[in-house]
Chain A
Amino acid sequence: MDRQQEFVLRTLEERDIRFVRLWFTDVLGYLKSVSVAPAELEGAFADGIGFDGSAIQGFARAYESDMIAKPDPVTFQVLPWENPKGDHYSARMFCDITMPDGSPSWADPRHVLTRTLSRAAEAGFTCYVHPEIEFYLLRDLPDNGSEPVPADSGGYFDQASHDVAPHFRRHTIEALEQVGISVEFSHHEGAPGQQEIDLRYADALTMADNIMTFRYVVKEVAITQGVRASFMPKPYTNHPGSAMHTHMSLFEGDRNAFHDDDEPYELSDTGRAFVAGVLAHAREITAVTNQWVNSYKRLIIGGEAPTAVCWGHRNRSALVRVPMYSPGKASSRRVEIRTPDSACNPYLAYAVILAAGLRGVQQGYQLPPPAEDDVWSLSERERRAAGYAPLPQNLSEALVEMENSELVAETLGEHVFDFFLRNKRAEWDNYRRHVTAYELSTYLPVL
């Protein structure tokens, strides 16, 4: 029993916490939780909690399904929800998934990211990220296919226009701070009901844990405010989707490896090669950064989202943006990847982006010239002439790209790679056979 474990057990006792949620993430990015009473936790620290891996998306097949979840006491946090007496009644810890013999499970998305990070560490890099997470606040979540009603009618940067949940953002930020997640910035986004909350940067693994916690906390706070939150990539045909723009930087020790005073935009050779890597492999990794059928409804012209493989400085239509502000501030030099949406599996998405960037750095990819023009306003022929490859237009195209990618296979590991492809193909097939409201309204009257 180490000290941190003792601390956890004592805290549970002192604060009269009745149960502990042990969290992990399945391959598709769903948060999984098993609750244990404090009395059982001691055993869980020693031996882990056994569970049937075949019941979890992507973990195991029936015949070798025993798996162990091992709680990581460092991630212990008391959850901010209170019981009627005003006491906190639950806490959470993230788990690492192992095989019965104690070796790491290659199905665990957390392990996928850990492996990629250690490959970065071998090259001398640590990876820091900060995401800007967008989502919609809705009055309810209709499951009959009808369009949801936004919780407010505010616009970009509007203050206090929440009709239904006036203190939502304040409550959310307080709750996040209580579970140890620092918020940098938050505001109302352009569309009615759409919010954006930016998290303060952290190392990639911590941030992936934070994003999982974030989604949970946001949804819970929304419920306490009488509304619902959704991270669906594109709930409205006529409003922008919910992106998770992610700022990334690599550090060599204390030094920001992306920074170089002498280069244009203060972006070092390493930074340029990293961006080149992300661009060169952008099409292969899209299935992971944008993993749902619905994700591709966001990646359209005019949707405030990238549609072609290019980079720029002020250019919001570019896939990678190199922000220009805070000149001379070496440690804040970073690049912004604009493809991921808020419903990705953050462990896998960060792993493939980082792997693509690292490949660029290690093989010295050359960065093409920046896109100065607004890609959205170009005609398709102009885009082709400029050499901007289009992103996959739907999940099926993205899967074909991914299937041929050794980079993605290597990064995810063969187990996750194989499961992901099979699962997503099935998702595409299900979607394909479905007759949509669009088809009915367009064709039924005229055909």
Chain B
Amino acid sequence: MTEGRRTALSLARLGITDGDAAETLTRLGWWRNGRVRRDAEPTLWALSRAPDPDLALRSLARLGHAIGDGWVELDGLMRRDPGVRGRLLGVLGSSTVLGDHLVANPQRWHALASPEAAGPNWADRAAQRLLFAVGADTTSPDSAVPNRATLTGVTAQRALRVTYRDLITELAAADLGAVVEPELPVAPFEQVGAALAQLAAGVLRAALAVGMAEVTPDGRPPRLAVIGMGKCGGAELNYVSDVDVIFVGGSEDELGAATKLASAMMRVASVCFEVDAALRPEGKAGALVRTLQGHLAYYRRWAKTWEFQALLKARPVAGDAEIGAEYMEAVGPMVWTAADRENFVSEVQAMRRRVAAYVPAELVDRELKLGHGGLRDVEFAVQLMQLVHGRTDESLRVAPTVSALAALGEGGYVGRDDAANLAASYRFLRLLEHRLQLQKLRRTHLLPADDDTAAWRWLARAAGMRPDGRHDALEVLRIEHTRQSHRARRLHQKLFYRPLLEAVARVPTEVYRLTESAAKARLAALGYASPQGALGHLRALTDGVSRRAAIQSALLPVLLEFLADTPDPDRGLAAYRRVSEALDETPWYLRLLRDEGAVAQRLMALLGTSRMVADLLVRAPEALQLLTDPEEMAGRDPAEVAMSLHSTACRYHDLGAAVTAARALRRYELFRIACADLLGLLDVDAVCLALSSVWTAVLSAALDVALRAEIDRRQAEPARIAVIAMGRLGGAELGYNSDADVLFVCEAVAGPDETAAVRFASSVAESVRNLLGSPTQDPPLVVDTGLRPEGRSGPLVRTLSSYQAYYTQWAQPWEAQALLRANPVAGDMELGKRFISMIDPVRYPAGGLSARQATEIRRIKARVDSERLPRGADPTTHTKLGRGGLADVEWTIQLLQLQHAHEVPALRTPSTTIALRAAADAGLLAAADAEVLLAAWKLVTRTRNVLSLVRGKQVDQLPTSGRELTAVARALGHSADNDPGQVVDAYRRITRRARAIVERSFGA
């Protein structure tokens, strides 16, 4: 009874849930009267450790049935020998397909009885068995002696397939034995990958032997070498994978026969796996077989960088050994000079983007191979470093990824701990891949869906996860997978860059470290135009033993990676150094970058594109916090910003302090707008509106404090003052570096003493101009009053009645035109409104313009076109005065406004875009024409804004080549893969169309 309770090993405890399991176990002789037979206990415990015990039991029952009397022998062996039960139950519990194979070929289990497949020489012998299976001479598989099979056609294929399955089963059994019986040796991933590659090579050799028998049954077969590529060449194959090959023929006249032979080989081998020859020169369009010379001619002349990268893994695996060796000898040196090729850097960058872009969003968490830090990403990074540094260091010239990583660590090209850790994560992810593929022998890199608990449990056990007391195997796997894939991602990100910092460290922390010249080579390969300068910045940033230097060292590898994707990494790094030095004493600065990965990424993107952002940030460090929340950054209401700026500045009684406060808030706001603009969060209208709003707020604050100071000084307020915005400010269409065109208007408060009023108002206006115009490093705040009556020779401020007198008596057509965008923005708004009512009859003249007046405006425009465009400037890319530029579009709509605003009230607006739409609505412009003008105006305005951001100052001319154009292209949202010349072409196209309409409508 007590014994009964002790051994009451229930099926549930064994993890067996199938309803008829007890019956099955009874039939197998392991179960009697509702309890386990004692001598079968170890077997049952082993069964319970199989990845899927139910599956293992079902397959075992089918196997038992199939072998009939043989069961006694198998059962006995399993009870006695942990190796036998481990291997057999491991396979049966992991793979339905391999289980089926054993049932269909019931005597094959004998092969699992010995631990041979885990041994070192097994794969060689296995390859021999494949040759033997098709009746080929196995004594000299590599010799030039014809090595024909005796079997051909379907018979040969069937034999090859069965033998290959046998061998895979044996290998899988050795691989999985330790999962079921923990004391069995664990087969390392490298060993399994290499064995699989050797099996594949064996299949190729056997298939080649069959091909020879089919293509040249007698006579001398053509010489043909099969070069293994990819994971087959690299001796790190998966259980299920295409096998990449390249064929090399003997001489030109053998090529016909050799091509037949190669096709035959591919066909025969296809019963085991797909043979893919697409890596050959010219890919699928190229000849299947080429001579050695043919290959070399291609690689010398045509090959792209990725093809050399593929050649890293090349290894002769079958066929004529002599040709194979010659091929390797000839091609090898080319691989190691690929990094000297002219387009290496740009091609590598394009390849990097392609690798990274390959993420199907809904599967991103389940992907083992693709995605950031996935298997392919790691492999790519390792291969790139091999290409760059293998030029000078032969120790890096090894094929398997894990060995290459180790060599990179030994050589100091990758931190040694990083190399070891990354290799461990890589092994883990590959192990999961192997297990997933074994299940149904399908080529997959996809983890089970999140809610598929059964599949996850199975995978966890197949991967050898053990419950750790707090978590069951499934949870352990999930935790481990998350940890390993994060680590791979993190390490991958730093892989290129961390050693660069070691190279510049004054206190060496690693014995093996990158030499300075290797560091420069790497920086150049990553797109830095001046590696020397970049190393200098790195040295400055990480110099010393402070905590700050330590954090920088930890941060920089990732930052450098982000910078490498920007149009100008060199300048970005220099800007980052400036910002870091400026914020040296700011405690949260580095912490923010370290803890908020997205902030760091955005900041690098901005610094590598925009000089203005860098300049602003140095003096507005607190603005960096804005980058934490892009939504909020874009969402700030310009009116609120303006209000708070105004009230903050007005709190200061000292004039200088008030303006300094206003400037600081403006800087912050400019930074916000610039970032939101560059990150694509604000459209051009919103940008212009926000820029106009902040300028207005600064102006209004300055006016109010200057007014207050003047009143304090005089102890009187003899005049009211209003500021009328003109030009771009009036239309709320300001750019980053636009001046503010304004008029000052005043009115005596009491009595007719206009002279005193004007004197008072003039000193206020003067003070505003001087306060704002004093030089600083910020984008300047120039108050331009040049549009006032009589221009620069006229008084700075006039009374309302003086303006009225002037405009009614003297106004030129161009002055009426300038008034179109007049808009009161600061000071006494009531006075401003009266100013506007006063000028309305001037700018919207009743009856429109006379023919003479219209002609006058056209003539002025023609003169402006020919005189004001700088000498040698290209009118097709000049944003302000060029063909279809701002002036063209604005003069066109302004002429229409002068002519028709008296009858079309909708035209009475300072805004260019609103006026254009109104003109279209009123039928003054064809709707399609208005669209073209709008599109051009917006593109040109946007281009000017972007130019300001990139250059840090106002430039009128769109550059037509170079890094600045690249930066403009990226900031305008063009892909880095495109020729930046397309931006110029598109700009010229859109403005040309606008110009055609201007010519028609304006009559220019």
Question: Chain A: residues with CB nearer than 8 A to chain B?
Answer: 2-4, 61-64, 74, 99-101, 103-106, 404, 409-410, 413-415, 417-418
Contacts and interface: CB of A to CB of B under 8 A. Distances in A.
B985 A100 contact: no
Nearest to A67: B961
B979 A414 contact: no
B872 A61 contact: yes
28 contacts: A3-B296, A3-B300, A61-B873, A61-B874, A63-B874, A64-B959, A99-B961, A99-B962, A99-B981, A100-B962, A101-B961, A101-B962, A101-B963, A101-B965, A101-B966, A103-B980, A104-B979, A105-B981, A106-B984, A106-B985, A404-B996, A409-B989, A414-B987, A414-B988, A414-B989, A415-B876, A417-B992, A418-B992
A63 B873 contact: yes
A62 to B, nearest CB: 5
B297 interface: yes
Contacts of A417: 992
A2 B302 CA distance: 10
Instruction: Assign chain B's interface to a size class.
Output: 20 to 34
Interface in B956-982: 959-963, 965-966, 979-981
B47 to A, nearest CB: 58
Contacts of A64: 874, 959-961
A104 B985 contact: no
B301 interface: yes
Interface string B278-298: 000000000000000000110
A410 B989 contact: yes
Nearest to B874: A61
A105 B965 CA distance: 13
A124 to B, nearest CB: 13
Contacts of A3: 296-297, 300-301
Contacts of B873: 61, 63
Contacts of B296: 3
Nearest to A61: B874
Contacts of A101: 961-963, 965-966
Nearest to A404: B996
A422 to B, nearest CB: 10
Interface in B166-186: none
A103 B969 CA distance: 13
A99 B979 contact: no
B300 A2 contact: yes
Contacts of A415: 876, 984-985, 988
Contacts of B984: 106, 414-415
User: Which 9 residue pairs across A and B have the least CB separation, nearest first?
Assistant: A414-B988, A3-B300, A99-B961, A63-B872, A101-B962, A62-B872, A106-B981, A61-B874, A101-B961
Contacts of A104: 979, 981
- Judged by DSSP, the binding face of A is helix
A75 B275 CA distance: 37
Contacts of A106: 981, 984-985
Contact of B988 (A61, A74, A103, A418): A418
A99 B965 CA distance: 12
Given A61-B872, A61-B873, A104-B979, 14 more contacts: A3-B297, A4-B300, A4-B301, A62-B872, A64-B874, A101-B961, A101-B962, A101-B965, A103-B981, A409-B989, A414-B985, A414-B987, A414-B988, A415-B876
B960 to A, nearest CB: 6
B961 A414 contact: no
Interface in B256-294: none
Interface of B: 296-297, 300-301, 341, 872-874, 876, 959-963, 965-966, 979-981, 984-985, 987-989, 992, 996
A418 B872 CA distance: 16
Contacts of A100: 961-962
A406 to B, nearest CB: 8
B961 A103 contact: yes
A4 B965 CA distance: 33
Contacts of B962: 99-101
A62 B985 CA distance: 19
A371 to B, nearest CB: 34
A144 B300 CA distance: 54
B862 to A, nearest CB: 17
Contacts of B300: 2-4
A253 to B, nearest CB: 8
A74 B300 CA distance: 12
Contact of A414 (B876, B959, B980): B876
B951 to A, nearest CB: 15
A418 B960 CA distance: 15
A383 B244 CA distance: 64
Nearest to B870: A63
A426 to B, nearest CB: 16
A75 B557 CA distance: 45
A4 B341 CA distance: 14
Nearest to A419: B876
Contacts of A413: 985
Contacts of A404: 996
Contacts of B872: 61-63
Contacts of B981: 99, 103-106
B42 to A, nearest CB: 64
A418 B874 CA distance: 11
Contacts of B992: 409, 414, 417-418
A2 B301 contact: yes
A103 B979 contact: yes
A45 to B, nearest CB: 9
A417 B985 CA distance: 10
Nearest to A106: B981
Contacts of A99: 960-962, 981
Contacts of B301: 2-4, 74
B263 to A, nearest CB: 18
A2 B344 CA distance: 13
A99 B981 CA distance: 10
A415 B988 CA distance: 8
Query: B985, B988, B989: which has the most chain A beta carbons within 10 Å?
Result: B985
Nearest to B988: A414
A410 B963 CA distance: 25
Nearest to A64: B960
Contacts of B297: 3
Nearest to B979: A103
B762 to A, nearest CB: 42
Contacts of B979: 103-104
A100 B960 CA distance: 11
B323 to A, nearest CB: 20
B969 to A, nearest CB: 10
Contacts of B980: 103
B888 to A, nearest CB: 15
A102 to B, nearest CB: 8
A61 B341 CA distance: 32
Contacts of A414: 876, 984-985, 987-989, 992
B983 to A, nearest CB: 11
B959 to A, nearest CB: 8
A7 to B, nearest CB: 9
Nearest to A4: B301
B926 to A, nearest CB: 15
A340 B989 CA distance: 26
A366 B96 CA distance: 59
Max chain B C-beta neighbours (<10 A), residue from A105, A409, A410, A414: A414
A423 B610 CA distance: 38
A100 B964 CA distance: 13
A3 B298 CA distance: 10
Nearest to B529: A101
Nearest to A47: B342
B328 to A, nearest CB: 18
A410 B296 CA distance: 39
Contacts of A4: 300-301
A409 B991 CA distance: 12
A62 B871 CA distance: 9
B546 to A, nearest CB: 39
A61 B875 CA distance: 10
